[in-house]
Structure 1
Amino acid sequence: MSLQMQLSAITLDCPDPMALAVFYQQATGLELHPKSDDEFAGLNCGDGNGVLVGFQRVDDYRAPSWPDQVVPQQLHICFKVGDDLGEAEARLLELGAGKPEHQPHGTKARVFTDPAGHPFCVVRGG
C-alpha cells in the first residue's frame, strides 16, 4: 500500500510575514489568506483547495546568500510568466525584488531575490 500525500502548503521563513505576503501578492495576483497576521501570512492558490504559500516570522532571520552558500538558499521557487521576461523583470524590481549579478539560465529564465532574500526564478512559459 502506498502513501497518498497531497501538497497543501509551502512556508518560507522571513522577518516580516505580511510584507513578504504583500510582495508575492502583488507579483502573482494571489489572494491574501483572511487569517494572515504579523506572525504568519499566507496566499491562497486557486479556488481555496490549492496550495497555500505561507510566510512565517522567524526571529534573527538570516537571508540566503545565493549564489554562494554561506547561508544556503534552502528553497527555490519558479514562476511561469509570458514570453517577455523584461516586462516581468521591470515589474518585480518595481515591487522590491533584487536581481543578482549571477544569471545562470541565459534567455530562458531570470533569477531574482524577494525582499527577504529568497531566490526565485521567472521562466518563459506563456
Structure 2
Amino acid sequence: MTISAITLDCPDPLALMAFYQQATGLEPHPRSDADFAGLNREDGLFLGFQRVDGYRAPTWPDQVVPQQLHICFTVENLDEAEGRLLGLGAGKPDHQPNRPAARVLTDPAGHPFCLSTGPSA
C-alpha cells in the first residue's frame, strides 16, 4: 500500500492551497477551484484542500474540536522556517512540545503542523 493523497477540510481551498504552495514550493494542480484545490509533489503525492460548509478549526492542544490529523515537515533551521511561515499567515500556539528540535504551528485554517530538524516520532 502506498499513500497517494492527503486532503484537509477547510473553509477556503484556494487560500489554504496558496499558503502550502508558498510554504513547500509544490506545484498547484491544474484543476484546482473554489471547492477543491491541490498541490502535486514530483513523486506523485497529492496534498488536497476541500471546502466544508460550517468548517470548525481544530482547538489544539485541547480537544473541544479535535485536530484529527497533523502533518510534519522537516526543515534545516527551525527559527528561519518558523519566521517565514508566520510571515505567510501561520499561527503559533502557546503550547509547544518539550522537544528542542520541534515546533508546532497552525495553518491559516487552524490545522496544527509540526516543524522538526529530524525524523518525526
- Bin the TM-score by the shorter chain: over 0.9
TM-score by length of 1: 0.91
Name the counterpart of 1:7: 3
The list of structure 1 runs, each at least 4 consecutive aligned residues, that deviate by more than 3 angstroms after superposition, is: none
Name the counterpart of 2:12: 16
SS in 2 for 1:20: helix
SS in 1 for 2:16: helix
Equivalent AA in structure 2 for residue 79 of structure 1: F
Q: Which has the larger radius of gyration?
A: 1
Sequence identity percentage: 74
Number of residue pairs aligned between Structure 1 and Structure 2: 119
Could you list the runs of 5+ residues in structure 2 that have no partner in the other structure? Answer: none
TM-score by length of 2: 0.94
Q: What is the RMSD computed on CA atoms of the aligned residues?
A: 1.2
Could you list the runs of 5+ residues in structure 1 that have no partner in the other structure? Answer: none
1:74 Cα shift?
0.4
Name the counterpart of 2:54: 60
- Aligned with 2:73 (options 44, 60, 79): 79
Matched, 1:36 2:32: yes
Counterpart-to-counterpart distance in 1, 2:48 and 2:98: 27
- Aligned with 2:83 (options 87, 90, 98): 90
Counterpart-to-counterpart distance in 1, 2:29 and 2:101: 32
Matched, 1:69 2:63: yes
Equivalent AA in structure 2 for residue 65 of structure 1: T
